[in-house]
C-alpha cells in the first residue's frame, strides 16, 4: 500500500512538472509578462509541428520618417540633412521586440503618448512620457525595455538642430548659446560673413556724403564699405569728406579708394617716374598723419582693358604688374603700411582668356585681396542670368574658361575675394529680372565662401546709359532691402 502511494505521489509530481513545462513552452510565460531573455524572439506558427512551429525570426527594424536638421543660414557651406532613426517595430502585435541598435533606448509594445519633459543633462530633449509595463532589459544597454507606443512627430529644439519631444508646460526652456558676431580681422578679412558696401551716386553730381546718405535711407541699412574713385597725381586721399564718412560716430565704415595714376605709362611708373614718386611720398605722409585706419586701396582697376601687348608700349601685362608692385612698395617704405591692397580685374571673358592675363599678377606679397567688377544684364544674351552666372561667367566661344571665381580659387586659393563693383542693368523689356536676381543672391551666396565683400555700383546712367539703381522698381527695392538684412551680410567693423 505504501509502495503504491509512493508511486502515485511521484507520478503526480512528474505530471505537474510536465504540465508546467508545457504551459511555459506554449507561451504561458509571455502571457504574464515574463519574457525569456535572449535573442532572437521565437514566434509560434499555428498548425505547424513542434519542430517547424518555432522559427528564428530576426527583429524587424523600421525607421521613422527622416527629420532634417535646419542649416545655419550664415555659413558658407550647408549642413547635410541628419536623419534620426526610430526604434524597431515589434514582430507581432503584443510581442515585445528588442531595442533598435544604436538608439540607446529599449523598444517595447506600442502605446499611446503622454507628453513628457526633457531629459535632464542629456543635451537632447526626451521623448514623451508614458505608462510603463515591465519588460526585459535591453541587451547591453542597461536600460529596461518599456512598452512600445505610438510615435508623434517631434519638433525641433530652437537653435539646437536636434529633434525634441513634447515639453510639459512650465518646464525649463533650452536656449542656444549666443553666436559670436562676425567682425573684421587682419587685412580687413571678416571672421565670417560678407562685408556690404556701395559706390553711391556714381557718374552723378550727387556724390560722397549726400549720395551715401540717400542710398542708406532708401535701402534701410548702414553700408560697411564706401567706394570712392581718384585719378591723377594732384589730390592726395582720403579727402576730408571721405575721412568723415569713415569716422562717422556710431556708423563706422571702411573706405575702398580706387586710384588710376594717369601721370605716365605703367612702365615708367615702375621704373620710378619722378612726378609719380613725389605724389606717392606726399600720399604716405598724408596717411601717416591724418588717417591711420586700415582701408582698401585699389590701383588702376580693370587694367586689362588697357593692356597693349606690343614691345615698348609701356602698357603690357608685365608693365602693369611692375607698376602695381612699385606703388605698393614705395608707400609701405614711407610708412603707409596700413593700406590693404586690392587687385581689381574687369573679369571680361575675352580678356581673361588671353595668354597674357596671368602676367598681370604682381605677387602675393603686394596683393592682399583680389577683386572683380561684374554686372548682370536683364536683357537676354551675354551676361543674363543669376548670381552664380555673375561670379562664374563663361562663354561658348571659350569653353575652357572655368569662370572668374573658379579661376581665382584654383590659382590664388588663399586670397579673399571682393566683388568690387556689381549691379543689375535694368531693362523695361524685362523689369522683373532685377528683383529676382536679388533673391538669387541670398539663395546662392553660401556656395561661394571665398567672397568676403560685395560693393554695389549705384548709378542711374553709366557711359552707355544703363541704370543699376536698386529702386528701379518697387519690387527690386523691396528685395534689395531684404537682401541687405540677411545675417550673412552683418559684419562688425573694428
Rounded distance between C-alpha atoms, residue 390 and residue 392, angstroms? 6
* CB contact at 8 A, 448 and 490: no
For 373-409, give one letter per residue: b (16+ CB within 10 A) or e: bbbbbbeeeebbbbbbbbbbbeeeeeeebebbbebbb
Cell numbers placing 408: 581665382
Q: Which residue has the higher pLDDT, 481 or 18?
A: 481
DSSP element (H, E) containing 183: strand 182-183
Q: Does residue 293 sit within a domain?
A: yes
89 and 217: one domain? no
Q: Which residue has the higher pLDDT, 448 or 140?
A: 448
Q: The CATH number of the domain where 331 resides is what?
A: 3.20.20.80
* CB contact at 8 A, 316 and 356: yes
Closest Cα partner for 485 from 193, 78, 189, 210? 193
pLDDT of residue 179: 79
Q: Does residue 29 sit within a domain?
A: no
- HSE, side-chain direction, 13 A CA sphere, residue 363: 11
138 and 202: one domain? no
Rounded to the nearest angstrom, the gap between the alpha carbon of residue 201 and the centroid of all alpha carbons in its chain is 31
Lookup result for grid cell 526633457: 118
Q: Does residue 34 sit within a domain?
A: no
pLDDT band at 20 (very low <50, low <70, confident <90, very high): low
421 catalytic residue (yes or no): yes
Q: Does residue 276 sit within a domain?
A: yes
393 and 440: one domain? yes
192 and 328: one domain? yes
131 and 204: one domain? no
pLDDT band at 463 (very low <50, low <70, confident <90, very high): confident
Lookup result for grid cell 581665382: 408
Q: Does residue 61 sit within a domain?
A: no
297 and 386: one domain? yes
pLDDT of residue 170: 47
Q: Which residue has the higher pLDDT, 4 or 107?
A: 4
138 and 208: one domain? no
Q: Compute the residue count for the chain.
A: 494
Count of domains forming the chain:
2
Q: How far does the chain reach from its first CA to its final CA, in angstroms?
A: 110
Q: Does residue 47 sit within a domain?
A: no
Ramachandran quadrant class, 420 (left: phi over 0; alpha: psi -120 to 50; beta: rest): alpha
| This model's pTM is above 0.85 | no
141 and 236: one domain? no
Rounded distance between C-alpha atoms, residue 453 and residue 187, angstroms? 12
Closest Cα partner for 39 from 97, 101, 83? 97
pLDDT digit string, tens, across residues 40-84:
333 333 343 333 333 333 434 444 334 333 333 333 333 333 333
pLDDT of residue 177: 65
Rounded distance between C-alpha atoms, residue 115 and residue 252, angstroms? 51
Closest Cα partner for 107 from 95, 116, 115, 98? 98
The residue annotated as part of the active site, out of 56, 216, 262, 302, is 302
The residues with which 385 forms a beta bridge, in sequence order, are none
pLDDT digit string, tens, across residues 328-338:
999 999 999 99
3-state SS, residue 438: helix
Domain boundary among 99, 133, 166: 166
Residue 362: how many CB atoms within 10 A of its CB?
21
249 and 190: one domain? yes
DSSP element (H, E) containing 297: strand 295-299
Per-residue DSSP letter, 313: -
The residue annotated as part of the active site, out of 242, 304, 421, 458, is 421
Ramachandran quadrant class, 283 (left: phi over 0; alpha: psi -120 to 50; beta: rest): alpha
pLDDT digit string, tens, across residues 375-402:
999 999 999 999 999 999 999 999 999 9
Structural domain that includes position 160: 82-114+125-166
Q: Does residue 50 sit within a domain?
A: no
409 and 268: one domain? yes
Q: Is residue 460 exposed (0-12), middle (13-18) or buried (19+ Cβ within 10 Å)?
A: middle
* CB contact at 8 A, 334 and 280: yes
* CB contact at 8 A, 353 and 300: no
pLDDT of residue 6: 54
pLDDT digit string, tens, across residues 276-303:
999 999 999 999 999 999 999 999 999 9
Residue 476: how many CB atoms within 10 A of its CB?
22
Closest Cα partner for 125 from 150, 156, 149, 104? 156
Asked which of 149-153, 209-213, 219-223 is least confident by mean pLDDT, the reply is 149-153
262 and 353: one domain? yes
Cα–Cα distance list, 355 to 306, 318, 394 (Å): 15, 12, 17
Average pLDDT value for the chain: 77
158 and 249: one domain? no
The residues with which 235 forms a beta bridge, in sequence order, are none
pLDDT digit string, tens, across residues 324-378:
999 999 999 999 999 999 999 999 999 999 999 999 999 999 999 999 999 999 9
440 catalytic residue (yes or no): no
Rounded distance between C-alpha atoms, residue 240 and residue 246, angstroms? 10
Pick the most confident of 89-93, 150-154, 303-307: 303-307
Q: Does residue 22 sit within a domain?
A: no
| Strands 182-183 and 491-492, bridge-based pairing | parallel
pLDDT of residue 207: 77
Rounded distance between C-alpha atoms, residue 423 and residue 442, angstroms? 14
Amino acid at each position: 500500500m505504501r509502495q503504491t502511494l509512493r508511486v502515485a505521489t511521484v507520478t503526480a509530481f512528474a505530471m505537474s512538472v510536465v504540465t508546467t513545462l508545457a504551459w511555459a513552452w506554449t507561451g504561458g510565460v509571455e502571457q504574464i509578462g515574463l519574457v525569456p531573455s535572449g535573442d532572437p524572439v521565437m514566434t509560434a506558427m499555428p498548425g505547424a509541428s513542434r519542430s517547424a512551429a518555432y522559427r528564428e525570426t530576426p527583429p524587424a527594424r523600421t525607421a521613422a520618417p527622416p527629420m532634417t536638421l535646419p542649416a545655419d543660414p550664415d555659413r558658407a557651406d550647408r549642413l547635410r540633412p541628419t536623419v534620426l532613426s526610430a526604434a524597431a517595430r515589434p514582430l507581432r502585435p503584443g510581442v515585445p521586440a528588442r531595442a533598435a541598435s544604436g538608439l540607446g533606448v529599449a523598444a517595447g509594445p506600442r502605446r499611446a503618448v503622454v507628453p513628457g519633459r526633457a531629459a535632464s543633462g542629456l543635451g537632447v530633449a526626451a521623448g514623451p512620457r508614458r505608462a510603463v509595463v515591465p519588460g526585459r532589459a535591453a541587451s547591453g544597454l542597461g536600460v529596461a525595455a518599456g512598452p512600445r507606443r505610438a510615435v508623434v512627430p517631434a519638433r525641433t529644439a530652437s537653435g539646437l538642430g536636434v529633434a525634441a519631444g513634447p515639453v510639459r508646460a512650465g518646464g525649463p526652456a533650452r536656449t542656444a548659446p549666443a553666436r559670436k558676431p562676425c567682425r573684421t580681422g587682419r587685412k580687413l578679412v571678416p571672421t565670417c560673413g560678407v562685408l556690404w558696401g556701395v559706390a553711391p551716386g556714381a557718374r552723378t553730381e550727387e556724390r560722397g556724403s549726400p549720395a551715401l546718405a540717400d542710398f542708406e535711407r532708401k535701402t534701410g541699412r548702414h553700408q560697411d564699405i564706401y567706394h570712392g574713385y581718384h585719378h591723377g597725381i594732384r589730390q592726395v586721399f582720403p579727402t576730408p569728406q571721405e575721412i568723415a564718412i569713415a569716422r562717422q560716430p556710431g556708423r563706422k565704415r571702411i573706405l575702398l579708394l580706387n586710384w588710376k595714376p594717369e601721370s605716365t605709362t605703367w612702365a615708367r611708373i615702375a621704373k620710378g617716374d619722378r612726378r609719380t614718386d613725389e605724389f606717392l611720398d606726399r600720399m604716405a605722409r598724408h596717411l601717416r598723419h591724418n588717417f591711420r585706419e586700415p582701408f582698401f586701396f585699389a590701383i588702376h582697376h580693370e587694367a586689362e582693358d588697357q593692356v597693349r601687348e606690343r614691345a615698348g608700349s609701356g602698357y603690357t601685362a608685365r608693365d602693369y604688374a611692375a607698376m602695381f608692385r612699385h606703388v605698393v612698395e614705395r608707400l609701405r617704405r614711407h610708412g603707409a603700411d596700413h593700406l590693404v591692397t586690392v587687385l581689381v580685374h574687369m573679369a571680361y571673358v575675352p580678356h581673361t582668356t588671353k595668354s597674357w592675363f596671368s602676367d598681370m599678377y604682381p605677387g602675393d606679397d603686394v596683393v592682399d585681396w583680389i577683386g572683380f567688377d561684374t554686372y548682370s544684364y536683364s536683357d537676354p544674351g551675354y551676361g543674363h542670368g543669376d548670381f552664380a552666372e555673375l561670379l562664374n561667367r563663361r562663354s561658348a566661344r571659350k569653353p575652357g574658361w572655368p569662370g572668374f571665381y573658379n579661376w581665382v580659387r584654383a590659382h590664388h586659393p588663399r586670397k579673399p575675394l571682393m566683388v568690387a563693383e556689381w549691379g543689375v542693368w535694368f531693362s523695361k523689356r524685362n523689369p522683373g529680372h532685377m528683383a529676382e536676381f536679388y533673391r538669387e543672391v541670398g539663395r546662392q551666396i553660401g556656395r561661394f565662401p571665398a567672397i568676403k565683400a560685395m560693393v554695389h555700383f549705384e548709378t542711374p546712367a553709366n557711359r552707355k546709359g544703363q541704370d543699376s539703381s536698386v529702386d528701379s522698381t518697387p519690387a527690386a527695392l523691396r528685395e534689395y532691402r531684404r537682401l541687405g538684412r540677411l545675417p550673412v551680410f552683418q559684419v562688425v567693423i573694428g
